[in-house]
Structure 1
Amino acid sequence: MKGVPIQSFSRAIAALKAINRNRSMTMMEISRAANVPYPTAHRIVQTLLYEGLIEQEPARKRYRPTLLVQSLSSGYQQDGVLVEAARAPIVDLTRKVGWPVSIAIRVGKNMMLCDSTHANTSLTFAQYYPGFTLPLLDSASGKLSMAYADDDERAQILKWMRADQDIDPNYLAAAELALNAEGIRARGYAVQGRNYFNHTPGKTSSIAVPIFKQGRFEAAMTLVFFASALKLENALESYLPEMLATARTIGEALDKAVAEPVAA
């Protein structure tokens, strides 16, 4: 069927992402992370070893990424420009409001952090670094990204998710129904009342606003706060204007970065 992913390839990518994220993993840990049986994990690992993307640690049955993994991103420059444009504004925003702020882009079925200010504030339960991923339909940034995607692109992403045997079809149908892309675009922000797919499940809530480049959605900027400290409506009232202003500042910097090479 057109547009349906190759399941074995998807699982191999999931394993490689897990190894890269955790720096070092056992075969059993890889099996759990990729959600595959142990024999399948073994075949995936043997393939990644053969391709030179991972290596076995000396004297230990653990596997780690090689420098070849870094070469996979050599042609990709979007997040570098985005981080450069966003870094100072999100640090300034955290200084003003106290809460950590992150920048994320969509990568496949997930949102991936490009930068965050968790290290710049004590008002956080955990540190989050570039490469951390969040599910599209269970995060404020993911909902925002889906809402601003073109209709055809959104339909294709949902098609991939329906073909993923690891995603419960009942959950996906309910999450898709609750998305309300038009409502998010009309409001100009998305929220997640409780974040369950992070290091401290259920303890934080989030607000995400869009960053635009040349009029098109580029990334999500998310503010995270303790759910026990603030109601969502109060957080919106207190922080949304500052968040929107910061997102505009970042968007203007991105537009300038695009225009400067032309001017030169």
Structure 2
Amino acid sequence: MEGAHIRSIGRALAVLRAVNQQGAMSMMQIANAVGIPYPTACRIVHTLQEEGMLEREPTRKYYRPTALVNALSHGYQDHSDLVGIARQELEALTAKHFWPVSLTTWVGQHILVRDCTHALSPMALTNYQPGASFPLVECASGHVMLAFSEEEQRQSWLDASENFDLAPDQHTLLRLREPGFAAQVREQGYVLRGYNQFTNTPGRTSSIAVPIFSEGEVCGALTLVFFSVSMKQETAVERYVPDLKKAALAITAKLAGQDGGAVRPIETHGTMALHAGI
């Protein structure tokens, strides 16, 4: 049936993604990371070994990706200049505000960190690296990219998220499906996500994300992360959103110069934020 979710494939891809990001994991770590029973993790890992995607380390019962994983990226097209174009803006934002800033795009049901300034920030709780990923429907950058996507594409992603093993709470999905969600975010031009739960330090950070465009379509986001208890959320919006929008618009303009795409303006009016639990 068209649109049907094959759970075993989803789980196998989740295992491969987890091991690829970590570098090497034990079977129990894999089961916990993906949220599946230990016997299921064993079957999936052994299947991926047979397919040549994973291998066991010689001296311990840890599993790591093989060189064959690289073949999965052949033919993949992306905004190859995005990271180079955005780097100066990321560094400038962290130099001014001290908080870490990330450049993200989406891959499947996840948001992928393409570049970040966690290593440059004196106030980063975790030193995330490019390649880290977070659930699309759980983070500010995912919400802002959903809001600026076409309706059909947005609903397709949300449908897939409901069938994913690490699906969010239903309240979040219902909020993202509301007719006014996209209009509200487009009006204000940003998403604020308070007390992030998907990070390595649950509840201790909040995020503000703004969209980046290429050829008139949203292609990524800039996200600034700050300590949840360091200031009121409305203060963070007032203090950081203008500079985030300015940086995102500069990146969008540079991308247009690279690929000839049209610059899509980012709305700068409106101060209503989307808070935790939406």
- Assess same fold via TM > 0.5: yes
Matched, 1:257 2:258: yes
Counterpart amino acid of 1:76? Answer: Y
**Structure 1, 165-174 or 98-107: larger mean CA deviation:** 165-174
Counterpart amino acid of 1:151? Answer: E
Alignment of 1:232-243 (within 5 A): 232-243=233-244
Instruction: Report the Cα distance in structure 2 between the residues aligned to 1:186 and 1:22, rounded to whole angstroms.
Output: 38
Give deviations 1:134-183, integer Å, cap 9, x for gaps: 22222111110110111111111121122335536634544435781110
**Structure 1, 29-38 or 162-171: larger mean CA deviation:** 162-171
Return the TM-score normalized by structure 1: 0.92
Instruction: Report the Cα distance in structure 1 between the residues aligned to 2:65 and 2:165, rounded to whole angstroms.
Output: 26
Whether the 8 Å CA contact 2:175–2:181 is kept in 1: the answer is: no
Whether the 8 Å CA contact 2:212–2:249 is kept in 1: the answer is: yes
Return the TM-score normalized by structure 2: 0.87
Counterpart amino acid of 2:227? Answer: F
Whether the 8 Å CA contact 1:111–1:141 is kept in 2: the answer is: yes
Matched, 1:203 2:204: yes
Give the superposition deviation at 1:133. 1.6
Instruction: Report the Cα distance in structure 2 between the residues aligned to 1:219 and 1:249, rounded to whole angstroms.
Output: 13
Instruction: Report the Cα distance in structure 2 between the residues aligned to 1:86 and 1:123, rounded to whole angstroms.
Output: 21
Instruction: Report the Cα distance in structure 2 between the residues aligned to 1:165 and 1:18, rounded to whole angstroms.
Output: 13
- Aligned to 2:106, the other structure's residue is in SS state strand
Aligned Cα root-mean-square deviation (Å): 1.9
Summarize the Cα distance change of 1:48–1:193 in structure 2 as closer, same or farther, 3 Å threshold.
same
Alignment of 1:1-264 (within 5 A): 1-164=1-164, 166-167=166-167, 170-176=170-176, 180-259=181-260
Counterpart amino acid of 1:240? Answer: V
Give the superposition deviation at 1:37. 2.2
Instruction: Report the Cα distance in structure 2 between the residues aligned to 1:232 and 1:106, rounded to whole angstroms.
Output: 26
Instruction: Report the Cα distance in structure 2 between the residues aligned to 1:240 and 1:169, rounded to whole angstroms.
Output: 27
Whether the 8 Å CA contact 1:140–1:222 is kept in 2: the answer is: yes
Whether the 8 Å CA contact 2:197–2:203 is kept in 1: the answer is: yes
Summarize the Cα distance change of 1:166–1:221 in structure 2 as closer, same or farther, 3 Å threshold.
closer
Whether the 8 Å CA contact 1:4–1:163 is kept in 2: the answer is: no
Whether the 8 Å CA contact 1:27–1:41 is kept in 2: the answer is: yes
Whether the 8 Å CA contact 2:11–2:165 is kept in 1: the answer is: no
Summarize the Cα distance change of 1:159–1:48 in structure 2 as closer, same or farther, 3 Å threshold.
same
Instruction: Report the Cα distance in structure 2 between the residues aligned to 1:259 and 1:168, rounded to whole angstroms.
Output: 37
Instruction: Report the Cα distance in structure 2 between the residues aligned to 1:229 and 1:198, rounded to whole angstroms.
Output: 17
Whether the 8 Å CA contact 1:5–1:163 is kept in 2: the answer is: yes
Instruction: Report the Cα distance in structure 2 between the residues aligned to 1:172 and 1:246, rounded to whole angstroms.
Output: 28
Instruction: Report the Cα distance in structure 1 between the residues aligned to 2:135 and 2:245, rounded to whole angstroms.
Output: 23
Instruction: Report the Cα distance in structure 2 between the residues aligned to 1:166 and 1:118, rounded to whole angstroms.
Output: 26
Give the superposition deviation at 1:126. 1.0
Give % identity. Answer: 41
Summarize the Cα distance change of 1:165–1:196 in structure 2 as closer, same or farther, 3 Å threshold.
closer
Summarize the Cα distance change of 1:145–1:88 in structure 2 as closer, same or farther, 3 Å threshold.
same
Whether the 8 Å CA contact 1:3–1:159 is kept in 2: the answer is: no
Give the superposition deviation at 1:80. 3.2
Give deviations 1:214-243, integer Å, cap 9, x for gaps: 221110110111111121111111121111
Summarize the Cα distance change of 1:69–1:165 in structure 2 as closer, same or farther, 3 Å threshold.
closer
Give the superposition deviation at 1:108. 1.5
- Aligned to 2:137, the other structure's residue is in SS state helix
Counterpart amino acid of 1:250? Answer: I
